[in-house]
Chain A
Amino acid sequence: MRVNTDWLKQYTEIPYTPEELSNRLTEIGLEATIVDESANLPDSVIIAIVATVDKHPRADRLSVCKVNTGEREYTVVCGAPNVTAGQRVPLALPGAVLPGGQEIKATTIRGVFSEGMLCAEDELKLSDDHSGIMVLDESAPIGMPLREFLQKNDVSLEIELTPNRPDCASQIGIAREISLLTGSQLILPPVNLPEGNVPTSNEVAVVIEDAEACPRYAARLIRQVQVGPSPQWLVRRLNSVGLRSINNVVDAANFVLMETGHPLHTFDLAQVKEQKIVVRRARAGEKVMTLDGMERSLTPEILLICDAVRPVAIAGIMGLANSEITDRTTDVLIESAYFNPKVIRRGARFLGLQTDASYRFERGADIEGVIYALNRVAQIITEVAGGEVCRGIVDNYPGVSAPRRVQVNYRKIDELIGMEFDRTWLVDLFRELGCKTERITAEGVSLEVPSWRPDLEREVDFCEEAVRIYGMSRVPSAKKLSIQLRGAVDERYDRIESLRSRMMAFGFDEIYTNSLISAEKSHLNFDGYQPIALQNPLSIDLSHLRTALFPGMLQAVKNNINHRRLNLRLFELGFVQLRDAASETGAQEKLHLGAVVCGETGERHWSRLMRQSDLFVVKGLIEGLLKNMRLALPTWNPIERPECKILLKTEIAGRVLAYLGEFNPTFLRELVDIEVPVFFLEMDVDLLLEQPVGPVKFRELPIFPAVQRDISIVLDARVPVADVVAKIQSSGGEYLREVLFYDLYTGKNIDKSKKSLTFNLVFWALERTLTDAEIDKAMTRIHQVLNEEFQARLR
C-alpha cells in the first residue's frame, strides 16, 4: 500500500521529515519504506517560474516562454498545452541528462533559440503523465533543484500492511495513525453535495438476494456527466500512489478508494437493464467477461451484481466489460457496498484475481463508511466531470447491527505487558482510536469500537493498541526471568546431536538435501514404502516427499563431481515420510542417517598412500557408531536389488536398522549420471535411539605384563572370518582377552580355493604373570579346534 506525504497533509499535520515519518510508522506496526522516485533527477533540473507565454511565430502548437530561475531568465520553446504565466515548473538546463537518458541541449527550434526544456512528469520518470508540463504548487522555491524539493515535500511511502489492518489501506487510515502519534487532529474532507430534484429511489431499485453475502448496498445516480481526461491534480494524486489515470469518472472512484479505503464501482446507467440492481450468487458454469478482457467461468461461491437480466459486476472484485464507463457514458450509477469478507476471499481465490477492491473487502471494509465514500465520490465526479446528482441515496442495509462493545480492565493490560500504564493516557488513547468510552471507573472502561476497526474485538486487542502506541521500545525489560525447571532431559535431542558430531569426528561432511524430490526418486527405498505426493507442487521435480535420503544425496555427489570434487564422505540427518494409512496425517515420519562415500578415503597428504573407498568404509562407519554407543555389532544379510551391486541389511527384532552397500553402475549412470563407484549407508535413527546406550563399566587393569602371540592359518576361502574369530575366542581359555584379525592373504604359495588369515592374540591374568607353558597350551587348543572346525592348518 502506497501513501504520499503531500496527500496525507490534506488530512493531518505531519511534523516529520520523510525519514522520521517512515521510522515512526514502522515503530507502530506500519512497516514503511521510502519510495524515492526523484533520486535519479539531476541537479540541473531546477524550479523556475513562467514569466511570459507567447505564441511561436512559426508553429501553431508551440509557445515561446520566458522562465526565471531567480538567477536569470531563460527563453524556452514549449509544446505543452497547459503552460501559463505564473506557473512553477521544472526547467531542464542544457547539459542535463534526464533519468530516461535524454540529454538536453540548447538548440534552435523553427528559428527560435531555446535554452532548455520544461518537463512533463513522464519525461522525468516521476509518473506516466504526459498530458502537459509538471506544475508545482506555490510553495515550490524558485531556483531550487526539483529533486531537493520533491524529496522534502512529495515523498511516497510503501507500507507493508499486516492482514489485520484494512483500515490502514488508505490515505485517511494512515493519516489517522499519524494523528495518534502527533496528537494533532484528523480532518476528514467535508462533503457538501448539491442535489437535483429527481429522487434516486425513483430511478434505481436495489434487490439483495443474499443478505449474508451483501449486508449493505448503497447507490447514487449522476446524470449528464462529461466523461473525459482527468485534471492534472487528480492524475498526480493517483500516480503518487501507483495508479494510472483512466478517465475522470473512474479516476474519481479510484481517488476515493485510495483516500477512504472504501472500494466503489461506477456503472454506465444506460447499460444497466431496467435500471435495476440485483445482488445474487453466480450459477455454476455462468460465464462473464471482466473489465480486464478475460472471460471467466463462475461458481455459486461467487457473488454477482446483476441488472434485470444479466451480470454487470463480480461483487467486490471486478466490474464487467458490458457496463463500464466509456466516452459515450452520460449517466453514472455509483455503487458503495459492503460485502462479506469470506465470500470475497473465496471468489477472489477461485478466480485467481486480487484487486484493490478485493484486497480491502476480504480484510474487512468499513460498513458504516459506505455512505461517506458514496457522497465523496459523487462530489468529486461532479467536480471533475460535471453532471447533476439525483436526490437521496438508495441504501439497502439488511445487515445492520449494533456496534461492538468491549470491556477493558486496566490491570489486565498492566499484567500482560509487565508495566503500569497511566489510566488517563489509556482512556485518551482509546478515544483517539475512535472508540466511544462509557462507564469509566478506576478499574476499567467500556468501549464502543469504531466500525473501521474489525480487528478490535477483545480486551487483549486493546492491550496491543496500548503497547503499540506507547512504544514497545519504551516497555522496560524485566530485571528477572522466572525459569521453569525442566522435567524432561531432552535425551533425544542430545543423542541426535552426539550422532551428528560423531559423524564429523569420523571425517564426514554434513549436507542438507531437499525433502521434496521427483516421483521417480521418491519411490527409491528398499522396503517397498510408498511416497506421499503433493497436491500443488512447485514443479514435477519436487512433487513428492522422499522415502530415503540416498536419492537426494546422490544428486549432491553429482554436484560435487561436477566441481571436480571427487573424494567425498557426506552424511545427512533428515526425515523421510512413508505413506501410512493408519496415521492421522497419512504419513509415518522417520529420522534417517544417510552416508555416501566415493573416491579416496581421507585427505591427500605427501607422506601418505591413498586408498580407494570400498564397502568397508561404510561398514566401519556404522560399526564405529554402534561401538561408540556400546551396542553389539550387527549381523548382516545380503539381499538382491537392481539398484545395488552389493546390498547388506541388518535388523533389530524384525525391524530394519540399516542398509549398506555399493550402487550398481547402471543405476548410478541412469539416475544421476555418475561414473564412479559409490558406497552408502542408510540407517533408521529412530530405531537406533530406541536402543539403550550400554553403560561404561570400568574393567580393572592388569599389573602383570600381557603376552601377545600371532597365529596364521590357511583354510577354505569361503569360511567367514567372523566364524573363525568366534572359535578362537571360545577356545582360547579364560586368559585370552583380545583377538585382532589383521591380515588376509591369497595368491602366491596359497591354493586358489584357500586363504591365509593372521590373528594377533593377547593373553593376561590379573593376579600373576602367565607362564609360557600356559600360553602354549592355549595356542595348541586353538590350533586343534580350528583344525577340527575348518580343517585349518598352520602356515
Chain B
Amino acid sequence: MNLLEQAKEVQALLLNDARQAGADLRSIENFRLKFLGKKGLIPALFARLGELSVTEKRQIGQVLNEIKVSAENVVEQLTKNLSQPTSTPEFFDFTLPGIIPDVGHPHPISLTMQAIISIFREMGFGIEFGPEVETDYYNFQTLNFPDDHPARDMQDTFFISSKVLLRTHTSPIQIRTMLKQRPPIRILAPGRVFRNEAINARSFCAFHQVEGLYVDEKVTFSELKTTLELFAKRFFGSAVKIRFRPSFFPFTEPSAEVDVSCFICAGKGCRLCKNSGWLEILGCGMVDPNVFEAVGIDPHKYSGYAFGMGVDRITLLKYQINDIRLLWDGDVRLIEQF
C-alpha cells in the first residue's frame, strides 16, 4: 500500500474515531496516543516520507500535515468539551453552604407594632402621631387626671418643668386629634412613652404603646368588644379566649382590662401566666364625658371607645423574651433571631 492510500485510511479512521470518542479524559488520551503519540498512526506516516522523491514529499507532506492538524483539532475540541460544566466532576460537595443574601433583621418591637397596626388598619383605623415631649395639659388634665389626684400615681412621670413632661402614654394623641378633627374619628396612635420606673428585667424607663380611638354617634361597648376580640384572634390565633374585666382609667368610663388565655398553657396555668391562665394585654373603655368636654365634643351627641396596649410587653410575651433590657442593648444576637 502506498503512503497516500495509507494516509487516506488513517484519515477515515480519524473521522470515525473522532465521532465515537468518549467525552472523558481517558478516551481523549487514548485517542491522542492512537493518532498523535510517538508510536501513533500519524507519526508512523511521517516516518515513511523518507521513502519518497522530493516532489512527492512536498505533495504528500501537505496531506499528512492536514491530517495531523485535524487530529490536533479533535483533541483540542474534546478537551474543551471536557472543561464545560455540563460534564460531571469527580466529587461535588453539595453540603457547602449557599450564599444567603445579606438582608438585615427587624427589631421585634417593630414586628409587633406592624402586626398590630395592620390588623386595625383593615378595620378602618387611620394613623396619627404626637410628640414625646408633652405638656401636663395634654398628658393629664384633658384626660381627666385632675391635679393632686391619686390616679396620677398610676404613672410615674419624668418632668422637664412643672408643666412639661415626657408623655407617660400615647393618650395625648387622642386629645390632639379630637381638637383638630371632628367626629367621626377612627385613629390609631403608635409611639414611645416614658415612665420613671427603676430599670430591671421586667421594667424599663421607656416603652411603646399603640392607642386606638373611635368617636361617632352611637358607639357602644359591645362594638368595642367585637373590635378587640377580632384583634386578639388575629394577633394571637383563633383559638385564643378573651376576658374583659372592669378596671379604672381616668379617661374612660366604664373601663376594662382585657386578658387573653395564655398561649403557652392554653389557660391551664404556667409560669408565663403566673398560673392564672390569663395574660393581661390591654386596657380599654368608653371615652369619659369629661374628656369630650375638654376637647369640645358634645357628649350627649357622640360616644366613643379607646384602647391602648403596651407593645414591648406583648413582644416579650409573644416571643418569651425573659429580660426587657435585651430590647434596648442593640445586641445583634437577639435581632438576628427575627
Given the complex of chains A and B, what is the CA–CA distance between A446 and B135 in angstroms? Answer: 39
Checking B196, B206, B335 against A509 with a beta-carbon cut-off of 8 angstroms, the contacting residue is B335
Identity of the chain B residue whose Cβ is nearest the Cβ of A491 in the assembled complex: B127
* 8 Å CB interface, A550-599 against B: 553, 555-557, 559-560, 563, 565, 568-571, 574-575, 577, 584-587, 589
Number of residue pairs spanning A and B whose beta carbons lie under 8 angstroms apart = 246
Residue of A nearest to B109 (CB): A512
Shortest beta-carbon distance from A440 to chain B in Å? 23
CA distance A468 to B106 in the complex (A): 41
Stretch with Cβ within 8 A of A (4 or more), from B33-41, B57-65, B247-255: B247-255
Most buried by A among B102, B109, B206: B102
- Which of B109, B125, B206 touches A515 (beta carbons < 8 Å)? B206
The answer to the question of A676 belonging to the interface, with a C-beta cut-off of 8 Å to chain B, is no
Question: A493 vs B129: C-alpha distance in the bound complex, in angstroms?
Answer: 9
Query: Which of B7-15, B83-91, B219-227 binds A?
Result: B219-227
* B99 in the interface (beta carbon within 8 A): yes
In the complex, chain B residues 250-268 whose Cβ is within 8 Å of any chain A Cβ? 253-257
Contact of A417 among B131, B220, B248 (CB under 8 A): B220
Also in contact, A559 and B329, with CB within 8 A (given A510-B107, A535-B160, A586-B164): yes
Q: Are B126 and A478 in contact (CB under 8 A)?
A: no
Interface-forming stretch among B24-32, B44-52, B69-77, B148-156? Answer: B148-156
Give the docked Cα–Cα distance between A507 and B222 (Å).
46
Given contacts A492-B129, A535-B161, contact A504 B150 (CB under 8 A): no
B218 within 8 Å of A (CB atoms): yes
Given A514-B328, A538-B198, A559-B331: A467 and B221 interface contact (C-beta under 8 Å): yes
Q: Given the interface contacts A473-B243, A575-B132, does A608 sit within 8 Å of B328 by beta carbon?
A: no
* Interface-facing stretch out of A45-53, A304-312, A457-465, A761-769: A457-465
Q: Which residue of A is nearest B229, CB measured? A: A477
In the complex, what distance in Å separates the CA atom of A475 from the CA atom of B222? 7
Q: Which of A470-519 contact B (CB under 8 A)?
A: 472-473, 475-479, 481-488, 490, 492-493, 497, 500, 503-516
A123 to B63, CA, bound (A): 119
Chain B residues, CB < 8 A from A82: none
Q: How far is the CA of A265 from the CA of B222 in the complex (A)?
A: 47
A516 touching B206 in the complex, CB below 8 Å, given contacts A27-B245, A508-B104, A509-B336: yes
Contact B160 A533 (CB under 8 A): yes
A397 CB to closest chain B CB (Å) equals 24
Q: Which of B104, B186, B196, B244 has the most A CB atoms < 10 Å from its CB? A: B104
From B107, B134, B254, give the contact of A512 (CB < 8 A): B107
Interface-centre pick from B198, B256, B327, B329 (highest chain A CB count, 10 A):
B329
B-side interface mostly: mixed
Contacting residues, chain B, for A533 (C-beta < 8 A): 160
- A485, A505, A587, A608: the one contacting B103 at CB < 8 Å is A505
Q: Determine if B254 and A163 form an interchain contact, defined as CB atoms under 8 angstroms apart.
A: no
When C-beta atoms are compared, the residue in chain B nearest to A500 turns out to be B110
Report the minimal beta-carbon distance from A489 to chain B, rounded to whole angstroms.
8
- Check A163/B289 contact, CB under 8 A, given A31-B245, A484-B216, A506-B104: no
Chain A residues whose C-beta falls within 8 Å of the C-beta of B151 in the assembled complex? 163-164
Q: B118-161 CB contact bits vs A (8 Å, 1 = yes)?
A: 00010111110101111100000000000111110110001111
Q: Are A464 and B330 in contact (CB under 8 A)?
A: no
A481 vs chain B, min Cβ distance (A): 6
Bound Cα distance A712, B226 (Å): 70
- Shortest Cβ distance from residue A538 to the other chain B in the assembled complex, whole angstroms: 6
Give the contacting residue for A560; candidates B104, B147, B257, B331; CB below 8 A.
B331
The answer to whether A345 has its CB under 8 Å from any CB of chain B is yes
A565 close to B332 (CB less than 8 A): yes
Question: What residue in chain A is nearest B184 (Cβ atoms)?
Answer: A484
Cβ A486 vs Cβ B126 within 8 A: yes
**How far, in angstroms, from A532 to B110 measured CA to CA in the complex?**
26
Residues from chain A with Cβ under 8 Å of B185 in the complex:
484
**Which residues of chain A have C-beta atoms less than 8 A from B186's C-beta?**
483-484, 486
Q: Once the chains bind, are A560 and B153 in contact (CB under 8 Å)?
A: no
Q: Do A464 and B255 form a contact, CB below 8 Å, given A510-B110, A534-B160, A560-B332?
A: yes
A559-B329, A563-B331 as given contacts; A165 in contact with B222, CB under 8 Å = no
Which A residues are CB-close (under 8 A) to B114? 497
Distance between B158 CB and nearest chain A CB, rounded to angstroms: 5
User: Which of A31, A345, A467, A481 makes the CB contact (< 8 A) with B254?
Assistant: A467
CB pair A460–B289 under 8 Å, yes or no, is yes
Name the B residues within 8 Å of A192 (CB-CB). Answer: none
Interchain nearest-CB distance for A459 vs B (Å): 9
- For B135, give the chain A residue with the smallest CB separation: A585
What per-residue 1/0 map shows which CB atoms of B178-189 lie under 8 Å from chain A?
000000111000
A162 at the interface (CB under 8 A from B): yes
The one of A29, A162, A475, A490 that contacts B126, using a Cβ cutoff of 8 Å: A490
Give min CB distance, B163 to chain A, whole Å.
9
Q: Is B288 among interface residues, defined by CB-CB distance under 8 A?
A: yes
User: How far is A419 from B220 in the complex, measured between Cα atoms in Å?
Assistant: 9
Q: CA separation between A227 and B160, bound complex, in Å?
A: 51
Residue of B nearest to A589 (CB): B131
Instruction: Verify A556–B329 contact, CB threshold 8 A.
Output: yes
Q: Is the CB of A577 within 8 A of B248?
A: no
Chain B residues positioned under 8 Å from A503 (CB to CB): 104
**Would B127 and A490 count as touching, CB distance under 8 A?**
yes
- Which of A461, A476, A507, A512 has the most chain B CB atoms inside 10 A of its CB? A512
A608 near B220: Cβ-Cβ < 8 Å: no
Q: Are A577 and B132 in contact (CB under 8 A)?
A: yes
8 Å CB interface, A333-357 against B: 341-342, 345-346
Partner of A476, one of B153, B222, B244: B222
Could you tell me if A468 and B133 are in contact, using CB atoms closer than 8 angstroms? Answer: no
CB-defined A-B contacts under 8 Å, sample of 12: A29-B246, A483-B124, A484-B124, A487-B126, A490-B121, A493-B117, A493-B127, A509-B335, A535-B161, A575-B132, A585-B160, A586-B164
Which A residues contact B (CB, under 8 angstroms)?
26-29, 31, 33, 162-165, 341-342, 345-346, 362-363, 415-419, 458, 460-461, 463-464, 467-468, 472-473, 475-479, 481-488, 490, 492-493, 497, 500, 503-516, 532-538, 542, 545, 553, 555-557, 559-560, 563, 565, 568-571, 574-575, 577, 584-587, 589, 602-603, 605-608
Q: Which 4 A-B pairs have the closest CB atoms?
A: A556-B330, A418-B222, A418-B220, A29-B246
